[in-house]
Amino acid sequence: MATVTAAAGSGDGADGGPKLWGGRFKKPLDPEMEKFNASIGYDKVMWSADIDGSIAYAKALAKTTIISEAERDKLCEGLEMVRKEWSVGQFQIVPSDEDIHTANERRLTELVGDVGRKLHTGRSRNDQVATDTRLWLRDRISNISGLLKETISAFNEQAKSNQTVMLPGFTHLQRAQPIRWAQWLLCYASMLKRDFDRLQEVYNRTNVCPLGSGALAGHPFDIDRDFLAMELKFDGITLNSLDGTSDRDFVSEFLFWSSLTSTHLSRMAEDLIIYSTKEFSFVTLADEYSTGSSLMPQKKNADSCELIRGRAGRLTGHLTGWLCTLKGLPLTYNKDLQEDKEPLFDSVETITSLIKISCGVIKTLTVNPDKMKAALSSEMLATDIAYYLVRKGVPFRDAHHVSGECVQLAESKNTDLDKLTLEDFMVVSAKFESDILDIFDYEKSMEQYNAKGGTGSKSISWQIDVFEQWLKTN
């Protein structure tokens, strides 16, 4: 059978190279349109996923008898040759390569001849790119999950090493109640554990195979889609061909996940930026995660944390921009969907680096227990005065009011709350007895919060154990 090729100039690119879709066109693309349309500059990162999908598709085609087993083997061998070229940096992109799919198919056909033109039978770049993106992202999610576990472990190990260290807990950035440093660490470990759990859900919805959906209507040659899913280690197949080619929920979910996770890391970074200032001096960042000033030799800047905080905004921007692109698209595939790649690829790279840097910061962080303890002040135990009265049978709302009067009295005397005498307290309420003076003990104050989740030592030990067991089973 004679091979049909496009006539010169018919649907060629600006470079004269033939296009897969060029049969119905008489004129080539404008050079600016050629550049505007192409995605090979960034989607080439999916070269391995594209080859995996094509090998599975060649095997599935052979099951339909559209190609012979010999042709299947030739295609698979050729695709492995293309893979080797990519892996050793020898693959040459040419100007007519619009995207990674056309690049790989073009090179395959150069290597194995006309049988390479059969590979795309019944397949569209619409279901191909959806498959490649899922394969690519699936692998990255697995890598990120491992990094998250390492970071959660770093927080937990620091908590184990600092269970007796105390510091002010803050609300509204005002000193509120004394807490343990381990409680602060385990708070962020809890956030990241939720992020880990959410990421597994994103993985599950990503790990679904759209291949065999064709351009939109389905596959005309009774392709075995369950076989394709099995070959590519997907959990199952998409249920509807229209949805299979146009669905980018998994991209949206990952961009949201990245934005939320980076928000958690940004909050951690902000705390550490504050805590590492000379005014606080609660912690000292390692030199490996700090930079200096080009003018002021004394400066040690928490630039690792500032960049974590800054790049969180970038990830939120990717999410917002992508949702604005997606919101008005009619079914099914539209070229607008190509705009998912750059925010997705950058989000994967950015969140990966944020997690790595955050892990390094926590592992190498130096805690200054004396500075933390020195920042505690007796007015932080005003709530304990209310609790004291509650234990004496006073309703909490009344006890809260009385405690506030004690604070006001100390301020009027220009003294600290723990410097009030028993007589001062008894002026405010006859419920006070000599044991009121015993409440001004920070360690004792924290120990009353031993309900699970609190800052008491038993609760801290319980939280650490929970994380250790979770790390062993995930």
- Which residues are identified as catalytic? 172, 293
DSSP state of 284: E
Separation between Cα atoms, residue 311 and residue 320, nearest integer Å: 14
